[in-house]
A and B are shown apart, each in its own frame.
Chain A
Amino acid sequence: MPPITMRLNPTVVHTPKAPTGIRGLDTVMGGGVPSGRTTLLEGGPGMGKTVLALQTLVHGARAHGEPGIFVAFEEHPERIVRNAESFGWDLSSLEGDRLAFLDARPDTDLIQSGAFDLGGLLAVLGARTKRMGAKRIVFDALDVVLALMPDARSVRREVYRLHDWLLANELTAIITTKAARTAGDANEAASFMQFMVDCAIVLGHDLVQGVSQRHLRVVKYRGSSFLENVHPYVIGPEGFEVARTDTDKDSQARISTERLSTGVSRLDTMLGGGYFRGAAILVTGAPGTAKTTLSGAFTLSSCERGDRTIFVSFDSPPAEIVRNLASVAIDLAPHVAAGTLKVVAAHALRGSAESHLLYIERLVEEHGARCLVIDPVSALGKSGNDKVSRSVVERLVEWCKHVGVTLMCTSLIDVEHRDAEGTPIQISTIADTWIHLDYLVRGGERNRTLSIVKSRGTEHSNQVRELLLSHGGVTLADVYVAGGEVLMGTLRFERERAERQTTHEREEDQERSKRLLDVETAELGARLEILRTQLALKERERRALDAAGDEDVDRHSAGLRSVHDLRGGDRMTTDGGGSDG
């Protein structure tokens, strides 16, 4: 028995889909336009209706073996083909049996007399469809031919005729028409066509602070769910590209436990080993707080690890970035030369935030990058209004997570709002690791500080560190906290020296005491020796004295005896008595 799988994402397939091959659009539409059904594409001039429609046709012919017919009511097919060449679609390889153009532009000298219909067109197309085995068809600018109809009833009748014919031939069709701005026949046609067709897409655009933001919205899709929101899009160098604003929450974001070095060894320690692979890292700070340097350190370590990396700079040209980083021992030049690293300059004033996003995504894909650095991501904020830009950055983060690319963004913090520590673009909430750089001005110095505001899934140090830049590289130093104040730079140095001095002095004192004691011990030892010698001397003296005494007495009695004998006087008793001493 096959396992039962539940799909919770909004792309559950009810209706067979015909993929458009347009980046993002198939996701938005849950796989593509309805197969064998009609899709209405509405939009103002220059919105890219023709591009979208033709791209779908080309994709069908090339990738799905579905030949297609392009019916041009407004533009000359030659012009359409020429415009398409700039997208590199290589139409000439398809033209003939896989892709056909029909020039159905009404004759400008057309004379009208009475009612008419699209019978001829459908007959011609019917024959062509059979011969080619066509599966897809585009009616580009149908409004042009409908405008020739004498009344609304005729318009309605012809649209139904066309729709019935498409269904009967089981063609996957895209009908493009100009947006209904003003009341009139075209307007009416567009609105009832929306009711008739199975799927309807509207293209629109807003001008926000002088930057055009194009957006697409699927307004209807019978038998299928779809992402209903407004989706920004651009017409890029390869054609139509739609950005997704909704995220598939259960998207298979690759969770990694691999740690990537930050390029600053003490920072690695503070983060418990480095950043996680696939994480989004945000570095915020005022101008001059070394945001670029910190991203450069990460870039270098990524390259050294062998990860293909892209460094997108909105501020400086690539050569300048490389030169400036080399001054702090971050030498990127060999990695640029080896092709591991690509440094790209993106100027904030060219194109909308949307086009930047898609441009960056394509860069990453083409380069096969595993690490991406954007310096600063806040430059995207210049490209449109805050609301749109915020979602652009959020989508960038989500996209990077989805494809497993480690993203490091720097963000400029408005000096006036520094205290808030918030970023103008609120990516801080979706960033995994947020490092804040700042500077303290004290004692006539400006010193850089680094602190980790947050780091998901990682034990991290809560300490503020001093960030030191020198031609030896980037290092972190402990800061001194004294009386509730953080000491840095010279103050820190002085403090360190003072501490060293104190220790030194204490050591010397101890040494001196020890020596003094040694001397005293030696002295006492010596004195002890002298005393011991003196004692021995005295004892010997005493013994000598004892021995000498006995002899004397003997000699004395003998002497007396001799004297007595000599005198010949009285007899003396030997036991004394006659002592005269």
Chain B
Amino acid sequence: MADAGDDHSVRLRLYVAGEGPNSRQARENLRVICEAHLAGRHVIEVLDVFEEPERALDDGVYLTPQLLVLVLPPATPRTVVGNLSEREVVLRALGVSDGVA
């Protein structure tokens, strides 16, 4: 699902919990948003907490699904919890203005 990224790409990490309804919706919602607003400018890594609990622990991800918008240190990544059904909230977190659509 990930496009080839360059330095200007938005790096995203989505934690899901198996095939639960919220997790499925989150995956789908994120795909739609990124295609519409960040086509060719994003990298998405999807991690299943049941498969990679240590990664989730490292990132302190306990609520799923959870989207991490990775930025360069020392800034902390922005996190969005939920199935990403509220598009405006997600776009704000991604730093993309709604007007672009």
Chain A: residues with CB nearer than 8 A to chain B? 102-104, 106-107, 109-124, 126-128, 145, 148
Contact = CB atoms under 8 A, between A and B. Distances in A.
A111 B80 contact: yes
A127 B66 CA distance: 19
Nearest to B21: A115
A530 B86 CA distance: 154
Interface in B44-101: 49-50, 53-54, 56-57, 60-66, 78-86, 89-90, 92-93
Given A111-B89, A114-B86, A124-B56, A119 B23 contact: yes
Given A118-B63, A123-B50, A111 B81 contact: yes
B40 interface: no
A121 B62 contact: yes
A111 B78 CA distance: 8
B50 A116 contact: no
Which of B16, B50, B78: most chain A Cβ within 10 A?
B50
A104 B62 contact: yes
Q: Is the interface of B mostly helix, strand, loop or mixed?
A: mixed
Contacts of B50: 119, 123, 126
Contact of B84 (A106, A110, A114): A114
Given A113-B89, A127-B53, A120 B63 contact: yes
B79 A110 contact: yes
B20 A117 contact: yes
A132 to B, nearest CB: 13
A32 B78 CA distance: 43
B28 to A, nearest CB: 12
A126 B49 CA distance: 10
Contact of B82 (A112, A121, A126, A145): A112
Those 6 A-B pairs whose CB atoms lie nearest each other, nearest first: A119-B17, A114-B85, A127-B53, A123-B49, A121-B62, A114-B82
26 contacts: A106-B62, A106-B63, A107-B79, A109-B78, A111-B78, A111-B80, A111-B93, A112-B89, A113-B83, A113-B85, A113-B89, A115-B22, A116-B22, A116-B66, A116-B81, A117-B64, A119-B49, A119-B50, A119-B64, A119-B65, A120-B61, A120-B63, A124-B61, A124-B62, A127-B57, A148-B63
B9 interface: no
